[in-house]
Chain A
Amino acid sequence: MPNSPGATVVPVLPRVLVVGDGEAARQTAELIARRQPVTLIIPQERLSGPAGLVSHNNISVCNGARILSVHGQWGNFAVTVKTEGSEQQVTAGAIVLAMDPVPGRLNRDCLLPAGERVWPLSRFSPQAIPNYVCSVSFLVGAGENDWALTFIPALRAAVELVERGIDVNFFFREYRVSAPGLEELCHRARQAGVNMYRYQEPPSGRVLPEGVALVYRDPFLTEEFPVLQVVSDLLVVAEEYALPQEAMALAELLGLARGASDRLQPTNVHYWPVKSSRPGVYLVGSCRDLALAGEAWLDAAVVASEVSRLAGGRMEVEAGYAVVEPARCALCLTCYRVCPYRAVEIKGQPQNRTYGAAAWIHPLACQRCGLCAAECPSAAITLGLSNAEKWAESQEIRFGSSEPGEASAVCLQVFACANSSWLLTRDVGRSLESKLAHLAGQDQIIVQRVPCAGQVGEPEVLSALLHGADGVLVLPCYDQNCRHRRGNRRWHQRGDNVSWFLSDVGLEPERLHWRPLSASSHQLVVTVNEMLERLRALGPWHKGRSAG
């Protein structure tokens, strides 16, 4: 039985599936295993990684495996895994992607091909240099994302060599101290005598019989020292890193929305630190962003804490998640396509006479944005509560003195996103409430809370107007700041259409206006005031027109 009234209990699997081959996967698996069982999937052809060294009786390791399919949702994933010709089914409550990135081609700043005197960094070891080598140059390049993977190991190797009496030149484009211990390492390198060269134009190079020559142009001293040629016996070049193919394939299987430049985490603060676009799927270190490779240990701790909610084998879900009425479902797939969380499945439902199947929304995976309900062409989806209207009324505030429909006064309906502008209107500390009340005066402002601006469309705007509003103001979040990833964009796609629709009906399209506001904006009062001014100029639509 659930503890709170109206809540549903969903049975969940405590087991967590961790996918990866390196240090990130090992740490994540071991941290989670302290509280619940873990299956560690080590992808094919990368068995030598540190993940192979895990030891914990709560971890079962699946070596050299490939994931063929993923079904189910948060709390109950079913994953088909292929190992050496045999297929097995692993069930887990959550999935963690913790793959390490792999080195690719030499950094684009190196203008020489790899060869006898030009070595890739990942295959270089200070212990294994040939006897003839008395000087080594390092080149770490332009990559913005793989800082922890190239700059730190290259500088460590440089320090080790210079301490053994070898002459070391270190060419780099950028210098950062953000990773743990990096500032100390840079300090130590300078003290030990590593020659540091910061460049803006990549040094051109030549392979000579006696070594490798790099021609360097100092970005600051161009007048007196136009160019400098540095010759060393060996050149070690950092590679550019990328996520392995398996990670991309798995992200595809899971239907994850990606961020910029192939990041597996959408560019949106609501996913930080470790969430993916799918509830129950988590991302660690480089799987979020290559630049975070050095912070995998921190992510592992956050993931372990997140997945611990599954440890009890049951989770309680409050009412309010989206529910499909099977008999009305036309199987149009709209909800299946628009859900930003992939929370919708098609299931057999005898109540649906036409198809015997209907869309079904997973209560745990549903994050209550209401995009599905807004777009369902069958009006078959409601946000859970049995009496949606009662809920809606309890979630609105009214400012001003007049009743809607009173002569001369105007009534403004505001749709405020629960994650930004609604919070502003409730911000008593900044006395916005009293300012809005003052603004309203003889007129009326009704602020309606919506779970996401993407839930507002033609029906909501028309209904507001029919119920006495003279104009509608929609306040979504800024782009890339929508808690539901693309809900605000759904409104922006729709806004112009709804305006056009108003003019088609015979009303001024200016009666609908929208602008994004953040939860800390100073523009709420100005925006509402501008809209009120606009409406006062237009006048109430129903009275004026029926009189004429």
Chain B
Amino acid sequence: MIVAERKPIQEIKKMLIPFQRILVCGCQGCVTVCAAGGAKEVAVTAAALRLAAEVEGNSLLIREATVERQCEFEFVDQLQKEITDIQAVLSLACGAGVQTIAERFPHLPVYPGVNTRFIGLPVQHGVWAERCQACGECLLDRTGGICPVARCAKNLLNGPCGGSQNGKCEIGQDLDCAWQLIYDRLAGLGQLDRLREIMLPKDWSKSRDGGPRRLVRRDLLLEDEQ
């Protein structure tokens, strides 16, 4: 899932200073699951903004909504009736959700209420870790299902660097060396010979280096849009 974290209320307040009528909008997808932007966080953020306004003696109208997935136009269109008298939207969705609202409502300012961090998983309840960097060309088949692009600080493709000590990465004792994990897992699978294959330089044009990416599936296009 996409992992996000809440922004401090002070920071949000600064963005929203000129507005008196605000919609706080959550998303039922990834950000709900990582406890950053679901219905509960929408209620908490709205309450915090109301309280902050009262502390300063301001009056503020705050409406709350949570859509199924904020990264879909159809779901975001359902907000139409919520925003008639609204001056700005505070989106608690990931960056894709914020931009969906921006694209759909050209005259309505939208602000991010969370920081979108990475694609990852909860390694335990309350701890999330990055697992995928969306590099555009998956090589997990060659590394025992552990990604050196996302999990090695240097994105090394052919084994660890000299900073790998006792299974840990030199950037921090909390971080496992991805190549140690890969070696251990392949050893467990009896597939160490896979490491003999030298990986050629990766085609980073499929990652961010190639600019903003776009994916087209011609078979899925609807006739009238082709």
Residues of A at the B interface (CB closer than 8 Å) are 328, 330-334, 337-338, 353-354, 376-380, 458-459, 462-463, 465-466, 501, 504-507, 541-542, 545-546
Contact = CB atoms under 8 A, between A and B. Distances in A.
Contacts of B54: 466, 542, 546
Given A353-B68, A466-B47, A507-B51, 20 more contacts: A328-B28, A330-B38, A332-B34, A332-B35, A334-B35, A354-B28, A377-B39, A378-B38, A379-B43, A380-B39, A458-B44, A459-B43, A459-B44, A459-B47, A462-B51, A465-B51, A504-B48, A506-B52, A507-B55, A542-B54
Interface residues of B, number: 27
DSSP majority for the A interface?
helix
A295 to B, nearest CB: 36
Q: Which 3 A-B pairs have the closest CB atoms?
A: A546-B57, A377-B38, A462-B47
Contacts of B68: 353-354
Given A459-B44, A466-B50, A379 B38 contact: yes
Interface in B27-51: 28-29, 32-35, 38-41, 43-44, 47-48, 50-51
B85 interface: no
B223 interface: no
A173 B40 CA distance: 58
Contacts of B125: 334, 337-338
A378 B40 contact: yes
B10 interface: yes
A501 B56 contact: no
A546 B34 CA distance: 36
A505 B39 contact: no
Contacts of A379: 38-40, 43
Nearest to B69: A354
28 contacts: A330-B28, A330-B29, A330-B32, A330-B33, A330-B38, A332-B32, A333-B33, A338-B125, A377-B35, A377-B40, A379-B38, A379-B40, A380-B39, A458-B44, A459-B40, A462-B44, A466-B47, A466-B50, A466-B51, A501-B48, A504-B8, A504-B48, A505-B48, A506-B52, A542-B54, A542-B55, A545-B56, A546-B54
A376 B47 CA distance: 17
A378 B47 CA distance: 16
Contacts of A377: 32-33, 35, 38-41
B9 interface: yes
Contacts of A376: 40
Among A376, A505, A545, A546, max chain B CB count under 10 A is at A505
Contacts of A546: 54, 57
